[in-house]
Chain A
């Protein structure tokens, strides 16, 4: 584990109990300042090798994207956020995508999802053979404060999936 999980959990529980009234009142500025942010001392690093034209690329966003007709929306009410992810297929259309994230303005992305999740541009690069292929499964996370669940459950599941899919490079698109 890249950080002290037990120490985080203790600090996080204290933050939740102290911050809940302000969170529920929508007063985010102060509670964000108090949040026990987890910062790694080291920068994890895997050297890049090979050629994009022979490799598989996946997109990962924190934008709260989900498929309106087949997937549940993220919980955008809880102070814990929602530590789960949704699989977004590379064939997705703009009209299929919903956005559940209460902490950024997604009105423009609802017009053009590629300004936060450029899946259609990436597909075009694959058609032009600039990259090898786009992974069939791409991933969206949403707003999360419960980092403990994220790092112990959700992220390991996501990593085992992208490895099984043969993903060579991940493009990280935070919002």
Chain B
């Protein structure tokens, strides 16, 4: 309803089947469990990186319903 009111959104998600059902306008899919969408506690660099990914998605996603999967894994270094 935020989008319908004229404000673009970017959504996070961790369950592909649920996201296919809800159909967020723009979304990033992560491999992290419920309750820790940005990975392990204290990983400041990871949290920042995912927010930067969200900004990039905002600027580059042009089709409603686009879902981009992020490669990050719990307690593993991020890919370059």
A70-113 contact mask (Cβ, 8 Å, vs B): 1 or 0: 00000000000000000000000000000000001111110110
The size of the chain A interface, using a CB distance under 8 A, is 44
* B2 in contact with A159 (CB, 8 Å): yes
Asked if B7 is at the interface (CB within 8 A of a chain A CB), the reply is yes
Report chain B residues within 8 Å CB of A2.
1, 4
Report chain B residues within 8 Å CB of A21.
none
- Cα distance A69–B51 when bound, in Å? 29
Asked if A169 is at the interface (CB within 8 A of a chain B CB), the reply is yes
Q: Decide yes or no: A116 and B38 within 8 Å by CB, A151-B1, A174-B11 being known contacts.
A: yes
Report chain A residues within 8 Å CB of B58.
48, 52, 169
Asked if B80 is at the interface (CB within 8 A of a chain A CB), the reply is no
Asked if B21 is at the interface (CB within 8 A of a chain A CB), the reply is yes
The secondary structure that dominates the B interface is loop
* B interface residue count range (under 10 / 10 to 19 / 20 to 34 / 35 or more): 35 or more
Asked if A44 is at the interface (CB within 8 A of a chain B CB), the reply is yes
* B10 in contact with A169 (CB, 8 Å): yes
Complex interface residues of chain A between 1 and 58 (CB less than 8 A to chain B): 2, 37, 39-40, 43-48, 52
Q: Decide yes or no: A167 and B7 within 8 Å by CB, A48-B59, A121-B51 being known contacts.
A: yes
| Minimum distance in angstroms from A35 CB to a CB of chain B | 12
Q: Taking each of A60, A104, A106, A171, which has the highest tally of chain B beta carbons within 10 Å of its own beta carbon? A: A171
